[in-house]
Chains A and B, each alone.
Chain A
Amino acid sequence: MRILSCLAAAGLALAVAGPTAVAADETVTEFTLDNGMEVVVIEDHRAPVAVHMVWYRVGAADEPLGKSGIAHYLEHLMFKGTETREAGEFSAVVEANGGTDNAFTAQDYTGYFQRVAADRLGLMMEMEADRMVNLRIDPELARLERDVVLEERNQRTENSAGALFAEQRVATQYLQHPYGIPIVGWKHEIEGLTREDALEFYAEHYGPNNAVLIVAGDVTPDEVRTLAEEHYGPIPANPEIEARARPQEPPQIAPRRIIYEDPRVAQPYVLRTYLAPERDSGDQRRAAALGYLSDLLGGEGPTPLMKRVLEVEEGTALYASAFYSSVSLDDTTFGLIVVPTPDRSLEEAEADMDRMIARFLDEGVDEAALARLKMRERADTVYDMDRLQSRARRYGTALMSGLTVSDVQDWPEIKQSITSEEIEQAAADLFDLKRSVTGYLTRPAAPAEEVSQ
């Protein structure tokens, strides 16, 4: 169903010709080029800056089996030159214009961005349009870049017990859906990735009809439209592009547990995730309720239930928290973590976690706390106007996850209208051990003669 709603949203966007300034936020305008490239413009004229981003609706979760890491490897290779630009030239030109550039790969998207003086926007578009279709990669450079990616994996994952644990947990959470495969790729599969794999992935997934252009800053929608038509407009739609249809999870009917031991662990902890629904276009209330559930159980400050009881009143946890990522194309997770004080075991910490869940289900929502959270949400809409790049990213991630500009703009009002009953219902639906993965991160029990260190 999500696939369908995603398609419907895309169709709707294509059907709307001309700028549709949205009433909810007059600084945001969207339109679509004839070749299917969607454009979102976010105006902020306080400084002469523009953020230029191209987001592709393809990420690690869209990789062929056995080629994990190819989306991210391709992202690296996108800096290795085109028919008319040498390797490294893209970034060098950005830098020579006083700008910065980078790129990012996630499960649901791949994005490229530059932050430049607003009068350099046309140059950025020219170069980004060029590498959308004209990528050329030298084989030796491709081989070296694979080493760079392996070092990136070493730095982010292999060198961190917590990151390795996270990788194992997520792999356990998804039996079938590719979210279970790490974005950077499994090490043995990265080692086998080739330039040809990357070019094939590029040919299948890159093109204006699979991309969203976001320009934020000291620009007007008219300027952006003129420049976008000039630079991106001439690129024909890529006929290879297909709607995303990934293998979906079967119903989880048994709780899963993992224990990861690593001598580099200083602070053992227990972390549990539950499969949870994400924000869907036109259907965001359940996700909004889960967001509040996360805040009420283990959000910021000392007042959320788990923090108040475990950290403050009982002193049984060094740290307790809840987290939920609502923006995702397919099913997401809701998580809880308890880091026990050194005198307590992980079994006790898990029991504490269960006790907090039971207590919330029993006591229900603290109305005063919910009112404060809503107040903060309202204030955030003010503070948020100060953060250009994060606004741009928020629209980008939403559009990559099957949501529309209207969904993003409806979100604050939806959050204000969520009731305690909806949050309690969301909790009752969520907390089913059969749909969970519980992980222990701990040190190996040391042999007696090696206890000292």
Chain B
Amino acid sequence: MTRIIAAAVLALCAAFPARAAIDIQEVTTPGGFTAWLVEERSIPFVALELRFRGGASLDAADKRGAIHLMNGLLEEGAGDLDAQGFSVALEELAAEFSFDVADDQLAISAKFLTENREEALALLRSVLLEPRFDPAAIERVRGQVLANIASAMKDPDDISMDAFDRIAFPGHPYGSAYEGTPESVTALTRDDLIAAKDRVMTRDRVYISAVGDIGADELGPLLDDLLSDLPEEGAPFPDPAGFNAPGGVTVVDFDTPQSVVTFGQAGVGREDEDFFPAFILTQIIGGGGFNSRLMEEVRRNRGLTYGIYAGIYAMEYTDMILGRVSTVNDRVAETVAVVREEWEKVAEDGVTPEELDRAITYLTGAYPLRFDGNERIANILVGMQMDGYGIDYPLTRNDRIRAVTLEDVRRVAAERISPDDLVFVVVGEPEGLEASN
């Protein structure tokens, strides 16, 4: 042991790359858009990220699933090009576009070679401004979406998450799946999709980052060309969703050998002064990797599961601490009991100095390692803007983590971790587990 510990300690003492070694420029375009740029000339391509805040939560009240279906049609033809023509054009340029929508954002990721930059952006512009929503394409993609919804209704992971959302966010967009229901999706018209696009893809809620073979002077005019003709303003944003689930266990009967459990409680938001202590706390309780308290107790000491995770979900309209675990039906009652005990322990006793040190060392050491590729960096940069962080965040983030004290974490654990309010949604055929809701 001695030799090993010496090595580990030695390693800890060596200096970490304390901060992410990237140079972010803030670019303000002539047209008034703001983008974050990292110029990285070593590989001749650019990764461009666009985010439209609000995402699928901007669905009109009786049009659930419209933004999701609309998003699915963005790659199905634009301008003069039908779906086939669009795909051919994209392949000829060797560009890659992807379109993704979730509760809080509609995300467009584009990747193009320097040699084809203008043509690729012209093609992307036609997607943003003149998507065709051809009737045949609508029916085809609608059929795929309906099939996915049907699959989700038979998948224990999805059933569990959907039931949790229904309990926690009644009356809010978060309370229902953004894919919509079979009924709502079946009823959507082409006009609904056109309206859905104008609710979310607008100038007032776009966030932009670019990383790669491009300079600030080139990027500005390109972005103006790309985005200036979008509508000025989209749909009003929803109200906060709160977190309304009463603590307890809900069981959803489903014939499958292993129960899937989603568990959670109200969380702590990024704007909250306790965010960093809470973030570190949940890292200790259920962070990724093999060394969280939950992994230790539920997997390593008891062999109850392959994986258990819990963490902070700081979302646009709610903040949660959310976890997931699955265990064979006849042992899931034990898993639920152990999670509750861990919640109680941390609420009462906080964490140890060793745990805090370990978490801080891990989080500060791992952070700079994330910045290792144009696509990854572009993703991080656009996310930081949406989260409301300043351009210096990569340089200061580790200091904020290091500033958290044991007292901070203990206080936040006592105030924010509430075992009685912990919500469990169990999907499967759990044995010996009483539903309390």
A residues apposed to B, CB below 8 Å: 44, 46-49, 79, 84-89, 91-93, 95-101, 115-117, 119-120, 123, 126, 143-152, 154-156, 158-159, 161, 217, 263-267, 301-303, 308, 311-312, 315, 318-319, 339, 341-342, 368, 372-373, 375-376, 378-379, 382-383, 385-388
- Which of chain A's residues have a CB closer than 8 A to the CB of B153? 266
Q: Are A151 and B305 in contact (CB under 8 A)?
A: yes
Pick 22 A–B contacts, CB within 8 A, sort by A: A46-B40, A46-B42, A46-B373, A49-B369, A49-B372, A79-B290, A96-B11, A96-B361, A99-B365, A116-B369, A148-B299, A148-B306, A149-B306, A150-B328, A154-B306, A155-B326, A267-B150, A301-B87, A315-B140, A386-B45, A386-B47, A387-B373
Q: B94–A376 contact, CB under 8 A?
A: yes
Extra A-B contacts (7), CB below 8 Å, given A47-B372, A99-B366, A301-B90: A47-B373, A91-B291, A151-B303, A155-B258, A159-B326, A302-B76, A368-B88
Q: Contact check: which of A99, A120, A375 meets B91 at CB < 8 Å? A: A375
The distance in angstroms between the C-alpha atoms of A161 and B11, with both chains bound, is 47
Q: A46-B40, A372-B92 are in contact. Are A123 and B326 (CB under 8 A)?
A: no
Contact digits for B358-386, partner A, Cβ 8 Å, 1 yes 0 no:
10011111111101111100000000000
Contact, CB under 8 Å: A315 / B373: no
User: Does B327 sit within 8 A of A, measured CB to CB?
Assistant: yes
Identify which of B47, B113, B255, B366 gathers the most chain A CB atoms within 10 Å of its CB: B366
Q: List the 3 closest pairs (A to B, CB-CB), nearest first.
A: A98-B365, A147-B303, A379-B94
Evaluate whether A386 and B374 lie within 8 angstroms (CB atoms) in the complex, with A154-B328, A155-B258, A264-B256 already known.
yes
Cβ of B290 and Cβ of A46 under 8 Å apart? no
Contact B90 A98 (CB under 8 A): no
Bound state CA distance, A91 and B14, in angstroms? 19
Q: Is the CB of B369 within 8 A of A99?
A: yes
Q: Does any Cβ of A come within 8 Å of B151's Cβ?
A: yes
**How far does the alpha carbon of A267 sit from the alpha carbon of B145 in the complex, in Å?**
12
B17's nearest neighbour on chain A, judged by CB, is: A48
Q: Which residues of A contact B303 (CB under 8 A)?
A: 143-148, 151
Contact between A301 and B91 (Cβ–Cβ < 8 Å)?
yes
Q: Mark B236-262, 1 if CB is under 8 A from A, else 0.
A: 000000000000000000011110100
* A152 vs B305: C-alpha distance when bound (angstroms): 7
Could you tell me if B369 and A303 are in contact, using CB atoms closer than 8 angstroms?
A: no
Interface string of B146-159 (1 = CB under 8 A from A): 01001111111000
Interface code B300-322, partner A: CB below 8 Å = 1, 0 otherwise? 11111111000000000000000
Whether A159 contacts B256 by the Cβ 8 Å rule is yes
Bound Cα distance A154, B328 (Å): 7
CB of B403 within 8 Å of the partner chain: no
* Cα(A87)–Cα(B301), bound, Å: 11
Give every chain A residue within 8 A of B307 (Cβ-Cβ).
155
Instruction: Note all chain A residues with C-beta closer than 8 A to B260.
Output: 159
- Give bound CA distance, A265 to B9, whole Å: 53
- Bound-complex Cα distance A126 to B375 (A): 32
What is the minimal beta-carbon distance from A10 to any residue of chain B, in angstroms?
Answer: 32
B333 CB to closest chain A CB, in angstroms?
15
When the two chains form their complex, are residues A98 and B306 in contact, meaning their CB atoms are under 8 A apart? no
In the assembly, what is the distance between CA of A385 and CA of B14, in Å? 30
* Chain B 86-121 residues near chain A, CB threshold 8 A: 87-88, 90-92, 94, 96, 111, 113
